[in-house]
Structure 1
Amino acid sequence: MKPAGLKNKDNYSNDPAEALEQLMDSYGTIVLRTAFFYMGDRHLAEDISQEVFLRAYRNWPSFRGESTVKTWLTTITVNVCRDKMGVRMFTEQPTDPSRVDHGRTISVEEEALRRMEKSEVLQHVLRLPLPYQEALYLYYYMDFSTSEIAKMTSSPEGTVRNRLYRAREALAREMKKGEETSSDRLGS
């Protein structure tokens, strides 16, 4: 049984143009936030979102519905982001996807303030290696199962579970280190 809110292909029109409109309404924000998480740039995320929905439109007739539509679109998004990032994927830090501001231009000052306001946990997550960040994001933020993440990332499910386990351990160490650093500053 699938969790509430996850739709399969049968809930959408067979006509690719109509399905595209429904997909954009239902999953546009999820695709944009995921692209923003990977790219860290709103404009790149918007470009990637357009490319994702273009690919979804082109491939709608061949989508067999073996996964939920959300999983399928997220897989496309992850793959497009990885293609765009290439080698940079392992050197640049993703940005908190909840920081995407829809519908208005953000000034440089606002963006700088927003980046400084990132949640403490996210700051620790962003210090982890990218495969750990990706596993935590897809599992906890996007609520995908380990088997869905494995399909999306073309990794064995055991690797995904291992990354989650190691990411949790590394995150705990990072947060403990951060607490020790803050108490050292307060104590001195």
Structure 2
Amino acid sequence: MEKHYLHHLTPGFDRSAVLEDMMTEFGEDIWNFAYFLTRRRDAADDIAQDVFLIAYNRMYTFRGEASVKSWLLSITRNQSLKYLRNAFIRRTVLMGAYRAEGSTASAEQVVFERIASREVWETVIKLPRKHREVLLLAYHYQMKMDEIAATLDLSEGTVKSRLFRAKKKMSELLREKQEGGKDDG
């Protein structure tokens, strides 16, 4: 259920109650999107907290031009990109391991595993970020092209082009994997 009352908030309104509603309704989506972009659980935890802190501080500036979910996903994307641009992170993070042994799967991973085989998920995570994010927004979050364009601050044509290329690359990678047998690493 989308909360449209945010653009009607006035100073003095209980922002804590609104924040709690947003965290309950969108918290899992925010964490999953941050994880999907950064491929790190610890980063997703930090980014999700930052997103809700930013949303809390900017709540009165929400204009209602996009859905609350799109607004929060835009903040999440921006925070994730900021995290990825950090030179220390780029130099020190090994991208090979996605899940520590003994840890549980993220909700996002569970959903993808139910929808498709593990091979598909592993293939999606190997795509460049710009392709991963359009696939996730289009197919998991079921956002419309104009919403994805607004979330990513791109034109609809660019979103369509990226989505086309992402699907084409997925097909190529899955075909290569099938032809080459099982890829263990």
* TM-score, reference length from structure 2: 0.77
Structure 1 alignment gaps of length 5 or more: 100-107, 184-188
Partner letter of residue 110 of structure 1?
G
| Counterpart Cα distance in 1 of 2:38 and 2:128 | 15
Is the contact made by 1:48 and 1:80 (CA closer than 8 Å) also made in structure 2?
A: yes
Structure 2 alignment gaps of length 5 or more: none
Percent of pairs with identical residues: 32
User: Alignment partner for residue 110 of structure 1, among 91, 102, 117?
Assistant: 102
Partner letter of residue 161 of structure 1?
K
Is the contact made by 2:7 and 2:60 (CA closer than 8 Å) also made in structure 1?
A: no
Partner letter of residue 130 of structure 2?
P
User: Alignment partner for residue 9 of structure 1, among 5, 12, 17?
Assistant: 5
- Which segments of structure 1 move beyond 4 Å, counting only runs of 4 or more? 10-14, 91-96, 111-115
The reply to whether residue 62 of structure 1 matches residue 58 of structure 2 is no
Seen in structure 2, the aligned counterparts of structure 1 residues 12 and 35 have a Cα distance that, compared at 3 Å, is: farther
Query: In the alignment, what sits opposite 1:79?
Result: 78
| Counterpart Cα distance in 2 of 1:160 and 1:169 | 14
CA-based RMSD of the aligned residues comes to 3.1
| Counterpart Cα distance in 1 of 2:29 and 2:104 | 24
User: Which deviations, in whole Å up to 9, do the C-alpha atoms of 1:83-127 show, x marking residues without a partner?
Assistant: 111164xx976998xx8xxxxxxxx42249999x98110112223
Is the contact made by 1:135 and 1:149 (CA closer than 8 Å) also made in structure 2?
A: yes
Partner letter of residue 4 of structure 2?
N
Partner letter of residue 147 of structure 1?
D
| Counterpart Cα distance in 2 of 1:181 and 1:128 | 18
| Counterpart Cα distance in 1 of 2:78 and 2:40 | 17
Is the contact made by 1:52 and 1:77 (CA closer than 8 Å) also made in structure 2?
A: yes
Seen in structure 2, the aligned counterparts of structure 1 residues 11 and 66 have a Cα distance that, compared at 3 Å, is: closer
